[in-house]
Chain A
Amino acid sequence: MARTLTQIPEQSGTPIHSQAGGRASEKAVDREVKKEPCPRAKKLRDLYFQTFSSASNEFPYWYTRRYNQLEGEIPVVRRAAALKEAFSHLTPTILPGELLVMGKTHHYRGSFPMPWLSEGYYMAKEDELYKVALAKGSSTVDELSQFGNGGGNVTQSFGNVVSIAGKFGMRREEIPALLRTAREWVGKSVDDLGHKYEQMVPAYPMKEAVMRAIVCMFDSGFTLPQGREVINYYYPLEYGFDGLIHMAREKKAEVAGRADGDGWAGMNRLYNYEAVVLILEGIQSWILNYAKEARRLADFETEPQQQREYRDIAQRLDSVAHSKPTTFPEAMQMIWTVHVAVLNEDAISGLSPGRVGQVLYPYYEQDKAAGRITDDEVLEWLQLQRVKFTCIDCFASMGVVGGVLSGNTFNNLSLGGLTKDGRSAANDLEKLIIEAAIRCTSTQPTLTVLYDDKLPEDFLLKATECNKTGTGYPAWVNNRGAIDFILNQYGPEGMTVEEARAVAIGGCLETSPCSWLPLHLNAQEYWILGGSGQPTSVGVHFISLPKVLELVLFDGVDQRTGQGVYPPHGKKLESYEEIVAVFQHYFRLTVDCLTTTNNIQHDVWRKQNMAVFNSLLKPDCLLKGHLINELGYRYNGTYNVESCGTINLVNSLAAIKKLVFDDQAASLEDLKRALSDNFGFKTALEVGSFSLAEQERKDETGKWDRIHYLCLTAPKYGNDDPYADTILKEWENWFCRMCHDYESLYAKPMYACQISVSTHAPMGTATIATPDGRLSGTTFADASLSAYPGTDRNGPYALFESATVWDHSMSQNSQMNLKLHPTAVQGMQGCKKLLALTQAYMRKGGFHIQYNIVDSKMLRDAQQNPDSYRGLMVRVAGFTQYWVEIGKPIQDEVIARTEYEAL
């Protein structure tokens, strides 16, 4: 049998360690903190575990039907009317035991395609989908009884269920109508129109080549045009939907026929307010349909408690449809309804609730004081909210949902941070939110602590207790660093220190601008906060840094496909500096062609598919009468440039510098030949594993052993070694500044965003061996500052020294994952160690850290026996995902990460 990369050095006495700081016990150790959800949440979460990811055609059907009726109408009004029609016709489903109700569709874990964004996928698959749909259904009970196995992904068609994109199931009866609906959008969708005009960019052919080579993963304009932002619940909480409709009608009368000094867009305000009224009416109908259903069920129900609960649901919904909430349960229902409504308006991933414990605190405080609610009841509501958030699915193509997102929806709930006047903002409700997340472990909402030295220790220790559930949450983010970034990026748009303190995380860990707004509840005023910036899921997403280096070394030619991507540079690359200069040149070409083409896609989106509901929620759209597309948001400079594979780039540059130029131990040509021959190893696909350690040799000639050894033992990031760390610092200083040279369609400077999500897997698959010794097709290092697995040999504090050689506040984020063995942080002493570790990193200026506190042996067992681990979760990048629902390349990568046995 061929030897693996792990076995080779073991046999020569220099093993690669996957453990650091000691050795784990032979027996797998379970997570220390394990609690049970309340019975109601448990029942509903167990149901989720049995639920398939389900797509339906109801929303697209009604949207398209109304849109077609309104040919010639003003675009924003036409879109709002179509949305109203779709919301008004969603079938309400309420399940027994639910208190918090409403969902994206009538399915528990439902979603739907939006062909007005992109219909190409269905058209390309039309024949295949038709065939599956029209084939005779053989829906035996045996076939259908397979539900619940291997997570909720519908990877294959079965019975009367057709698999779409390897994830979503759709009823076969709906497929022909879906295809007919999608056909209506050919040539009109954001994808099609954007494509028509992006081809007019001179660099378009390069953009195509960049996408084919997987230098970049996806277009943001028509895939997920919004998201990675913080929602704002303020306006419905303060005014209620009737109040907002009244306000919009008043504004209509005020602005009708008046430009008010704005010759470009002043007149648009009338149409925008008309659109606001329409969408709000649609959302009211949607809520009232659920209320009607709750009353129907109450009339039908014979069991008294369930009957009472249905009546209470109906009453809450009737109230929420019209008025501002006055109790904690009503506020919970209101924010959930608003959240789902935004998600149904557009394809969005990473719509974060933000600092919701601070938003809901007034209701909690007053209900508690009045004896209307107990902490146990609040805990139940918070657990039910977790189940609801976990049921959110986002419908997009396989490449986006699987390759980029690992099926996650990134509803990140932020905790802590500072108040408007600079005090700790942590409160008792936030501690209950953490407790709910400990009891009802689930992927959504994930949690992030905005760490500040002012936060009380009991709150911080509660968060470390949560970390020990092994769920990967909460992540820890440096509040001061986030404020610095926000002030730098949004200062020109009026951001102040006071407002910067409202910061929260959108998506995985996208620092997002928010604002303070005064909420009035029973004659008391509270300053609550919510998002006030555009999405940050937009811009250039993601650039594979190791792939760009491959193209530098091979004169612009993709070694996987043999296709030219960039103009040949024709240089001999005779110095390290020359390699860096060509890299920077190619990188600039990449950012430029992707920025210009994506700007066009987003411009089509804003003309045809603008957000109406999400816009009215965010300051200052209602006040100004301008929606997102007309710079109605308070902060608009949110477009970014995302990177992937930073540490493989840094380690590769360090290896080239050391081997080729400093030590002259190998020529660049020999190194390139070794890379082309994958250092004598098989490809990752041939081996069936994407972890470096498990790669197998092609033969025993050992032709490239020496050079591979030199590459593997060259200086590596993560060891407090200035040789590699200086390269990281130089890269960050250049990258974070160069992004400002590029401008979004809103004429705002772009900035660096450094998260990998799941792109380090598919991008690794598309990249040949790299000079750091990584083999072809294997996954890159995760995140942006995690060490490459097995290469951080000097402990976590050395890793922190390496990671903080640069100023993290230059970037929207940085990202570091650490994997700790459960025994390393056992007991209260372990909690304190974990907190001290976190504080050490934050105080050095690290932006973000998160922990997988899990025994790797358990993960290996879960890979072999997935059916025994339906509830097992791991932290992938900035998100937690069910183990059974992530792809093998990412599973291999998480297993391979260095496991710290002690701190």
Chain B
Amino acid sequence: MGLESKFGQSFITTTIDAVVSWARKNSVWPMPLGISCCAIEMMAAADPRFDIARFGSEVMRFTPRQCDLLIVAGTVTYKMAKVVRKIYDQMPDPKWVISMGACASSGGMFRSYSVVQGIDQFVPVDVYVAGCPPRPENLLYAVMEIQKKIGKTSVLEFTDQPLIELPVINERKN
């Protein structure tokens, strides 16, 4: 208000929080954990017709180390749950999780012995997407919701969290 007019067109005043979260929210890199049917709609969301690139999320990295949004797309079984958790642990902070589809959110139509009834039992979920499978538009909306959420976060929010102790693998003591 008035300050900008004094500095001319080259300056803008804002808070650090706003700048960082603005940058963060427009470059959300998803980790596409395509497990079953929803993966096909996730692929469709990336195709030219729906084009997830409009939201800055076209960089689908298949390595968790380079991602900040985990999209769990599909039915998670008990056998798979450990893998999902491991992938979540490998992602650097700050990170967000979309639970895509009825199966990931609540077990969906698979009320059976091998299916986990909702992934929120072992990973924190930010956005649940309804549908079996959700249409690509629905996933895009979820990405926008994540962006809204990121827009409200503060830079300091993620500094105090203790590091998770990862299990040591390939350690041999003979």
Do the two chains bind?
no
**Interface on A for B, CB 8 Å cutoff?**
none
